[in-house]
Structure 1
Amino acid sequence: MEPIEPVEPDADRALDLLGIGLGPFNLSLAALADAVPGLTTAFYDQRPDFHWHPGLLIDGATLQVPFLADLVTLADPGSRWSFLSWLKSRERLFPFYFAERFHVHRAEFDAYCRWVARSLPSTYFGRQVDSVRWNPAHGHFEVDHTRLDPHGEAEALGRTCARHLAIGTGSAPYVPEPLRPLAETPAAPVVHSAHYLDHRERLLAADHITVIGSGQSGAEVFLDLLRARPAGRERLTWLARSPAFAPMEYSKLGLEHFTPDYTRYFQGLADPVRDRLVPAQWQLHKGIDTETITAIFDELYRRTLDGGWPDAVLTPGVTVRTAGRLGSHGVELHLEHTEQGGRTRLVTGAVVLATGYRERPLEPLLAPVRSYLRRDAAGRPLVDGRGRLELDRSVTGRIYVLSPSRYSHGVGAPDLGLAAWRSASALNDLTGLLTGTEHYPLPARTAFTSFGLDPGADRSSNGVPVGTARR
């Protein structure tokens, strides 16, 4: 399928839906919306093209979710925009079939998403959204944007009107405060793992490298560096704030925390309970897959076969108190061990920060409609069960949040496996409003686990509802 050159939206006619941001979540929405008859949509992104974590497309790295967690399959298995359809378009179905891979390469998923993004008629890259405001007289949102050339320079200004919006601006690399000044200095040998491949050769040239962060990205970066360094001269340190280099919770029932059922349960909890839950569930979303942990151990073990130990230090339970430049090529880290309470100093030649991502705040983008947003006790925008921002009743338009925060949606907020469901739910809400019918039938139940008690179903000690006889 050849890429489609999108036609500019009619400036005099309001779209049904305008998406802001084109990461996997809004791209999922665009793909599923493509099959809804009569729905007028457009999706804007300021980048010149789609790329999914390009700095972490390390050779051999795979997704942590099955290929069925593509943009559409869990809502519409017959969609023309499925991962299997992409394989078919590349004449790769039989190789994939014989490969028997459930978890595909990251680079493969990136190529698949890029195919969808380039082929859909509703996606527009090089569109920087500048402001969003509500026009009560016309009952639609006005979105001002700048068209950018391939180099990111402004070409023209524009305005698009839409009755409803979908925000999918995703997340940004997170850099802890003590390391922020160094990470923002181009000459400093401190980079976030999001940009790892761009700086890999420069990092490998350092005499000593420190990786900070115990999640999947940190593990993959450490393993890649370890494999690239000579035995006995690895000169690597891997530090983590978490109490252990721990495996991801990947049991079948544990994975049910990434179902719509759990999301609904989580959203029904009181705010203080939700705020306590998310940090406590760190192994559900911050652990390392077993294959990667095994590969790291096996590589370290292989380097002991001739005697001695590899020159690699792996220490969890450590926080970086302060950091600074040491000469022109070094970095000095001041560390504290959480359990021991002891402190020490580490001198290293380069630092890779595998410190994760934080959701981009909505307020800067939605500043002109800030007064319409309803908030929780902590001042955070409220998001309802359909993924809509809760707005003042005077606003008849809806704003869907396709890349929500963990505080509102739980540990499954950034999980690719929920993208299609979230998109289909938003479209069902929209088509229900516009036509009275929901376009995508979705199952009422998605997990074997019942995450909470049903207050309307009293049960006896043997699990049978009181007053009900066994049959």
Structure 2
Amino acid sequence: MLDVIGIGLGPFNLSLAALLDNTNVRAKFFEQKPEFNWHKGMILPATTLQVPFMADLVTMIDPTSRYSFLNYLHTQKRLLKFYFLEEFKIYREEYNHYCQWVAGQLDSLRFATTVVDVQFYTEAGEEGFAVTVNECGETRTYHARHLVIGTGTRPTLPAPLQALAKDAPARCMHTAQFAERFDLDALTAAHQDAETPVKVLVLGSGQSSAEVYRALFDQQLDNTGAPKFMLDWFTRSAGFFPMEYSPLGLEHFSPAYTDYFYHLPRDTKAAVSAKQDLLYKGMGFDTIRDIYHRLYERSIRNQPLQSNLRTNCALISAEQADTDAPVTLAFTHSEQQQHFMADYDCVIAGTGYRYQLPDCLTGVLGDVAYDAYQQPEIGRDYTLSYRDTRTHAGKIFVQNQEVHSHGVGAPDLGLGAYRAGYIINELLGVNKYDTDALEVFQDFGAA
């Protein structure tokens, strides 16, 4: 029997696997994709992480690990180049390659393997989980004392766009699919008999929407300055606002704030979370400035901008006569209370992600406790709580499923290594990793 099985291999379970490599814990991690890829659809030119390079897989809990980003640069013979670059934030493509470098060194990982079922398991005095996987067409069952769920979040679209994205994926997509799905040539070819250029709309005002808008803006004009397509950017928010990025604001992404938030009453947690969007959902200030520079440069000689930016625009409905026809969108301006409609050939929506435990856990979720908000109850040790605590000995740890219980730091890469170290301490029953070392200046609670 294994000590732990990890389901899903994003950065958080990869961090756990890398840190476990220095222990005697018997572990396997299963991922249905053929190789590690982190937000592949959003690896665009000039896009960087929104956190410093120290938010790699290991450094914040084990700076001596051979799986650090700096050691990656050393092995790639690029360390001096990075030193001269004098940048804290690294390119998203580089981060993805770094993670692939780590993944290539870990024997505990199994790619192209789908977990199809999980059940509680008790036999010969051993308790845990039976995990059935499909690997290269063959079905096999593994047994482990504990599970760690790292399947990530799923892109979500507004209700009016969901059917459209399914029926016409080339004309309606989430920003997470942009790099792999957006095809301007195909849109132009389908539109060649029209009198006006192709019209493209970006929805949302988060970092991914901003990056898609910037990438499209850069390819909008031909060599003569004429538009190859029209480009608009709408958001239902009151403005295109930056994410909070002051040092004291960033201290919300710390173990101290996690402890503080975890012990708040459940109703208070919901109210606090509703006010914290700009701590982790806004755009980077540098991205906004970068886009504004592009807009300003295009305004020289008062040439047409060929792009409209609108705020307070909430999407009401989306219709399409057939798969080759433009999409007709209806909006309401939330402050003016006015309705308007517009046709677009392609809609790209940066409308966030939703948290959802994977379907393979259906066989065990019936024993999991849920709160009044129908969210799974999660312990401070990142484990799902059971309705009857005496029922099962095996623990189900979760990574990036606990915003409602642990606060805004759940999806943050900078806390990923800390959480993995915390989970490893729980698995070992001893404090191998110092989870008290990441101190901040603030006290978030009363004296």
Query: Aligned match of 1:160 in 117, 142, 148?
Result: 142
Secondary structure at 2:183 match in 1: helix
Going from structure 1 to structure 2, the CA distance change for 1:64 and 1:445 (only over 3 Å counts) comes to closer
Instruction: Indicate whether 1:335 and 2:317 are aligned.
Output: no
**Contact 2:50–2:284 (Cα < 8 Å) also in 1:** yes
Counterpart amino acid of residue 83 in structure 2: Y
**Contact 2:198–2:345 (Cα < 8 Å) also in 1:** yes
Q: Note the alpha carbon deviations across 1:85-129, whole angstroms, 9 max, x for none.
A: 111111111111111121000000000001111210111101101
Secondary structure at 1:68 match in 2: coil
Query: Aligned match of 2:277 in 275, 279, 282?
Result: 282
Partner of 1:10: none
**Counterparts in 2 of 1:10-409, with a 5 A limit?**
14-36=1-23, 38-137=24-123, 138-148=126-136, 155-186=137-168, 188-202=170-184, 205=188, 207-230=198-221, 231=225, 233=227, 235-326=230-321, 328-362=324-358, 364-391=359-386, 392-409=389-406
Query: Aligned match of 1:426 in 419, 423, 426?
Result: 423
Partner of 1:7: none
Secondary structure at 1:343 match in 2: strand
**Contact 1:136–1:395 (Cα < 8 Å) also in 2:** no
Secondary structure at 1:378 match in 2: coil
**Contact 2:356–2:401 (Cα < 8 Å) also in 1:** no
Q: Note the alpha carbon deviations across 1:30-57, whole angstroms, 9 max, x for none.
A: 0001111x21111001111000111111
What TM-score, normalized to structure 1?
A: 0.88
Question: Where in structure 1 are there 5+ consecutive unaligned residues?
Answer: 1-13, 149-154, 455-471
- Cα deviation for residue 220 of structure 1 reads 0.6
**Contact 1:47–1:125 (Cα < 8 Å) also in 2:** yes
Using the alignment, how far apart are the partners of 1:145 and 1:33 within structure 2? 22
Query: How many residues in Structure 1 have an aligned counterpart in Structure 2?
Result: 429
Using the alignment, how far apart are the partners of 1:340 and 1:23 within structure 2? 43
Q: Note the alpha carbon deviations across 1:202-239, whole angstroms, 9 max, x for none.
A: 27746111000100000011111111112563621111
Partner of 2:193: none
Partner of 1:451: 444
Going from structure 1 to structure 2, the CA distance change for 1:34 and 1:241 (only over 3 Å counts) comes to same
Q: Note the alpha carbon deviations across 1:114-155, whole angstroms, 9 max, x for none.
A: 11112101111011011111123431210011113xxxxxx1
Counterpart amino acid of residue 238 in structure 1: W
Q: Note the alpha carbon deviations across 1:358-392, whole angstroms, 9 max, x for none.
A: 12235x33222223212212232111111111123
Using the alignment, how far apart are the partners of 1:123 and 1:445 within structure 2? 29
366-375 vs 392-401, which deviates more? 366-375
Using the alignment, how far apart are the partners of 1:100 and 1:326 within structure 2? 52
Using the alignment, how far apart are the partners of 2:33 and 2:63 within structure 1? 29
Using the alignment, how far apart are the partners of 1:188 and 1:47 within structure 2? 22
Counterpart amino acid of residue 130 in structure 2: E
Secondary structure at 1:395 match in 2: coil
Using the alignment, how far apart are the partners of 1:267 and 1:371 within structure 2? 24
Counterpart amino acid of residue 443 in structure 2: S
Counterpart amino acid of residue 31 in structure 1: A
Going from structure 1 to structure 2, the CA distance change for 1:270 and 1:59 (only over 3 Å counts) comes to same
Q: Note the alpha carbon deviations across 1:14-72, whole angstroms, 9 max, x for none.
A: 10111010000000000001111x21111001111000111111111000000000000
Q: Note the alpha carbon deviations across 1:229-278, whole angstroms, 9 max, x for none.
A: 12563621111122110011000000011111111111111111111222
**Contact 1:232–1:311 (Cα < 8 Å) also in 2:** no
Alignment RMSD, CA only? 1.6
Question: Where in structure 2 are there 5+ consecutive unaligned residues?
Answer: 189-196
279-288 vs 161-170, which deviates more? 279-288
Secondary structure at 2:428 match in 1: helix
Using the alignment, how far apart are the partners of 2:108 and 2:438 within structure 1? 32
Secondary structure at 1:119 match in 2: coil
- Cα deviation for residue 445 of structure 1 reads 5.5
**Contact 2:399–2:410 (Cα < 8 Å) also in 1:** no
- Cα deviation for residue 290 of structure 1 reads 1.1
329-338 vs 57-66, which deviates more? 329-338
Counterpart amino acid of residue 142 in structure 2: T
Going from structure 1 to structure 2, the CA distance change for 1:330 and 1:43 (only over 3 Å counts) comes to same
- Cα deviation for residue 199 of structure 1 reads 2.9
Q: Note the alpha carbon deviations across 1:430-470, whole angstroms, 9 max, x for none.
A: 111xxxx211122266221111113xxxxxxxxxxxxxxxx
Secondary structure at 1:417 match in 2: helix
Using the alignment, how far apart are the partners of 2:145 and 2:423 within structure 1? 14
What TM-score, normalized to structure 2?
A: 0.93
**Contact 1:182–1:188 (Cα < 8 Å) also in 2:** no
**Contact 2:170–2:181 (Cα < 8 Å) also in 1:** no
